[in-house]
Amino acid sequence: MYIRKTTKTNKGKSYDNYLLVESLSTPKGPRQKIVCSLGSLAPAAREHWLDLAHRMQASLARTLRAFRAAARS
């Protein structure tokens, strides 16, 4: 997983948004899947983004395991 920065301009003002992206391998080649939008990360230092991505990945994995366990019950 990695964090992708996107920039949009509206009425002359630029807005940055950050996306948590998962890399996938498909029969047609590598693809990227947006896991979630993180919004603006401006207050956080760039050095902390990778740690944030790892913590989110672990949290999503726990949520998925819990969801699967509940579905089996």
Kindly indicate the confidence band of residue 39, based on its pLDDT and cuts at 50, 70 and 90: confident
Contact predicate 31/16, CB 8 Å: no
Per-residue tokens: 2: 């990695």
- Is the model more confident about 11 or about 43? 11
Supply the pLDDT for residue 26: 93
Enumerate the β-bridge partners of residue 67. none
Supply the pLDDT for residue 11: 95
Enumerate the β-bridge partners of residue 62. none
Q: In what order do the strands lie in the sheet with 13-26?
A: 2-10, 13-26, 29-39
Kindly indicate the confidence band of residue 8, based on its pLDDT and cuts at 50, 70 and 90: very high
The domains of the chain are located at 2-72
Kindly list the distances between the CA atom of residue 23 and the CA atoms of 3, 32, 71, in Å, as whole numbers in the listed order.
11, 5, 26
